[in-house]
A and B are shown apart, each in its own frame.
Chain A
Amino acid sequence: MVLPNASEDLSTEMEVDAFRRLFPLRYYECHLVESIRPDGRALARARDTTIALGAVASASGSALVKIGSTTMLAAIKMEVMTPTMESPDEGCIAIDFHMPPICSPIVRPGRPAEVAPVVSKQLSDTISSSGMVDLKELSLVSGKAAWMAFLDIYCLDADGAVFDAALLSATAALSHLQIPAVSMNDDGKIVLMSEEDGERLAQEPVNKEKRKLALRSIPFSLTCILYKNYILADPTAEEESIMETQVTIVLDSSSQLISFYKPGGSVLAYTPAIQDCVALTRQRVKELQSILDEANSAMEVE
């Protein structure tokens, strides 16, 4: 541990950058006392967030999301599967989260990041339990064919709040998803309908037009760091590495709690702190909802 006395003595004569590296915790505490963070944000403020839809031309739905410099690219590829016996008229969404070596100095080829499978699981759980997508909508021919939506999320730049950005990109990609028009041919295989053979009656169209999913309550999340009595919303990678206790809250558009993660950490979360986090998340949900709506309406204009 850093000796507080030693750092205090040195702080007056040391360069800021060196101080930041040598005594990161002291450095942050100096800021927190003033209710500001090193990047100029207030404690409860999230970073600037942008959503660009349709970034991947070869996918049916895609989104590029940036929260500060954390960048996520999500894309959906639609494939056809035979539905299971238990649920013959339901499709399926397979969510996979990847952290390729480009995104962070910690990840190296052949040694995947430890957090990637964890985030992957959290995303699947959140999206399936939120009831955002009605899997019946992904059905094509009951018992014969249904859509399998492969939702792959790539982290291009990891700078904290990875789960928040991943979830936002996943929901944005789902809201952008256009289900292609298909029909079933004589062999019972699903084929794409091109525009010129729309009138050919030999084939029975299963899904006549391109359509979007009717999304119900959309989940949004906010990660906060708990440190002493401070709550820092939307942490950067540096903040996450220094202050360990994190709380992630997922709420849907009508502010109902979907999930809550607090994976350990040295700070115990008391009820008031959690209530504060939920309040922050509620605000953030409104913000994100309007950003997502804006991105979607921009797409429609085009």
Chain B
Amino acid sequence: MAGKAATTSTTYSPSPTTLKTKAPIFNEDWVRPDGRGFHQCRPAFFRTGAVNAASGSAYAEFGNTKVIVSVFGPRESKKAMMYSDIGRLNCNVSFTTFSTPLRGQGLDNKEYTAMLHKALEGSIMLETFPKTTVDVFALVLESGGSDLPVVISCASLALADAGIMMYDLIASVSVSCLGKNLVIDPILEEESSQDGSLMITCMPSRYEITQLTVTGDWSTPKINEGMQLCLDACAKLAKIMRSCLKEAALGSQE
């Protein structure tokens, strides 16, 4: 992130003796490392109310990807900012030092922060909290692939938990292109050898895309296929998220 590679550290983590086969060949009989089907997502687990100190929060776990998102506010805008008749959304995504296989620095991830902001912006009714700010902070506890989509979905759930008015829940899913195959919800291993990726963030009930990123080399039919895969998965994910919210609401009534 900081331009040049990290300064040569005096410590190193021991690497395995036998290097793994370099690039797996994605032919007909290739199976995913965790044995899933190409179009099968990891089981998703969501829970709201993970952090008591926050106005709303959610915890999400997709396989080894674990994130916590806290929402604070609407509260007074800290910076000396101009008057605004719509609310502000402020996001931050950071990683723990132990989230990645190699010990990182736990820095703020500016790229993810900007993406999270854009993905959420379109779904929130900013005019319902003028002059104030809603803070959405995410911490990736463990990174196991598809981190950004999980952060985005989890953040949307946390916003709902905080009672922030939204047009719809936001669900996000990515697909990786490995050779000729499209695999959904890739894990870290798959992401590191992918030829391209496509991430969609959408409001499933409104059938609207709020954020879309594509990298790598894609032909138009492939994009079509990838988008359809993501949209279907988003709809399913949103159902899981909705049922999580319902459960939480029922639990608090009792």
Task: From the candidates B10, B16, B92, name the one contacting A82 in the complex (CB within 8 A).
Answer: B10
Q: Is A115 an interface residue (CB 8 A)?
A: no
Q: Is B137 an interface residue (CB 8 A)?
A: yes
What's the least CB distance linking B78 to chain A, in Å?
7
Listed residue (A69, A101, A108, A183) with the most chain B CB atoms within 10 angstroms of its CB: A101
Set of chain A residues within 8 Å of B92, measured between Cβ atoms: 101, 109
With A58-B142, A102-B51, A157-B52 given, is the CB distance from A152 to B18 under 8 Å? Answer: no
Interface segment, one of B34-42, B94-102, B208-216: B94-102
What's the least CB distance linking B75 to chain A, in Å?
7
Task: From the candidates B18, B51, B108, name the one contacting A109 in the complex (CB within 8 A).
Answer: B108
Q: Is B161 an interface residue (CB 8 A)?
A: no
Q: Are A108 and B135 in contact (CB under 8 A)?
A: yes
With A57-B142, A102-B138, A109-B94 given, is the CB distance from A79 to B13 under 8 Å? Answer: yes
Set of chain B residues within 8 Å of A57, measured between Cβ atoms: 64, 142
Complex interface residues of chain A between 167 and 202 (CB less than 8 A to chain B): 180, 182-183, 185, 189-194, 196-197
Complex interface residues of chain A between 189 and 222 (CB less than 8 A to chain B): 189-194, 196-197, 203
Q: How far is the CA of A194 from the CA of B213 in the complex (A)?
A: 39
Set of chain B residues within 8 Å of A96, measured between Cβ atoms: 97
Q: Is A7 an interface residue (CB 8 A)?
A: no
Q: Are A150 and B103 in contact (CB under 8 A)?
A: yes
Q: Are A157 and B141 in contact (CB under 8 A)?
A: no
Q: Is B17 an interface residue (CB 8 A)?
A: yes
Q: Are B51 and A98 in contact (CB under 8 A)?
A: no
Task: From the candidates B12, B52, B103, name the one contacting A69 in the complex (CB within 8 A).
Answer: B52
Set of chain B residues within 8 Å of A82, measured between Cβ atoms: 10
Q: How far is the CA of A109 from the CA of B78 in the complex (A)?
A: 12
Interface segment, one of A20-28, A70-78, A270-278, A293-301: A70-78
Q: Is B14 an interface residue (CB 8 A)?
A: yes
Complex interface residues of chain B between 51 and 100 (CB less than 8 A to chain A): 51-54, 57, 64, 68-70, 72, 75, 78, 92, 94, 96-100
Q: Is B139 an interface residue (CB 8 A)?
A: yes
What's the least CB distance linking B9 to chain A, in Å?
8
Q: Are A81 and B139 in contact (CB under 8 A)?
A: no
Q: Are A101 and B96 in contact (CB under 8 A)?
A: no
Complex interface residues of chain A between 75 and 90 (CB less than 8 A to chain B): 75-82
What's the least CB distance linking A163 to chain B, in Å?
17
Q: Is B224 an interface residue (CB 8 A)?
A: no
Q: Are B103 and A191 in contact (CB under 8 A)?
A: no
Q: Is A50 an interface residue (CB 8 A)?
A: no
How many residues does chain A have at the interface if contact means C-beta atoms less than 8 Å apart? 49
Set of chain A residues within 8 Å of B106, measured between Cβ atoms: 98, 152
Q: How far is the CA of A190 from the CA of B17 in the complex (A)?
A: 9
Q: Is B253 an interface residue (CB 8 A)?
A: no
Q: Are B14 and A102 in contact (CB under 8 A)?
A: no
What's the least CB distance linking A263 to chain B, in Å?
22
Q: How far is the CA of A279 from the CA of B103 in the complex (A)?
A: 41
Q: Are B16 and A105 in contact (CB under 8 A)?
A: no
With A56-B141, A108-B135, A156-B51 given, is the CB distance from A150 to B17 under 8 Å? Answer: no
Q: How far is the CA of A58 from the CA of B250 in the complex (A)?
A: 35
Q: Are A58 and B54 in contact (CB under 8 A)?
A: no
Q: Are B108 and A192 in contact (CB under 8 A)?
A: no
Set of chain B residues within 8 Å of A156, measured between Cβ atoms: 50-51, 68, 139
Set of chain A residues within 8 Å of B16, measured between Cβ atoms: 191-192, 194
Q: Are B54 and A105 in contact (CB under 8 A)?
A: yes
With A102-B51, A104-B53, A109-B92 given, is the CB distance from A75 to B17 under 8 Å? Answer: no
Q: Are B18 and A197 in contact (CB under 8 A)?
A: yes
Task: From the candidates A73, A78, A196, A197, name the one contacting B141 in the complex (CB within 8 A).
Answer: A73
Q: Are B11 and A148 in contact (CB under 8 A)?
A: yes
Name B92's closest neighbour in chain A (CB-CB): A109
Q: How far is the CA of A114 from the CA of B16 in the complex (A)?
A: 40
Q: How far is the CA of A175 from the CA of B78 in the complex (A)?
A: 42
Q: Is A243 an interface residue (CB 8 A)?
A: no
With A58-B142, A109-B137, A152-B98 given, is the CB distance from A103 to B51 under 8 Å? Answer: yes
Q: Are A108 and B98 in contact (CB under 8 A)?
A: no
Complex interface residues of chain B between 135 and 184 (CB less than 8 A to chain A): 135, 137-139, 141-142
10 extra interface residue pairs, beta carbon distance < 8 Å, beyond A98-B96, A105-B72: A102-B57, A102-B70, A102-B138, A104-B53, A108-B78, A108-B135, A109-B137, A152-B97, A189-B12, A197-B18
Q: Can you list 25 A-B contacts with CB-CB less than 8 angstroms, sorted by A residue number?
A: A58-B64, A69-B52, A73-B96, A75-B96, A77-B13, A77-B103, A78-B14, A80-B11, A80-B12, A98-B97, A101-B94, A102-B51, A102-B54, A105-B53, A105-B72, A109-B92, A109-B94, A110-B108, A152-B97, A152-B98, A156-B51, A156-B139, A189-B14, A192-B17, A197-B17
Query: Which residues of chain A have a CB within 8 Å of any CB of chain B?
Result: 56-59, 62, 69, 71, 73, 75-82, 96, 98, 100-105, 108-110, 148, 150, 152, 154, 156-159, 180, 182-183, 185, 189-194, 196-197, 203, 237
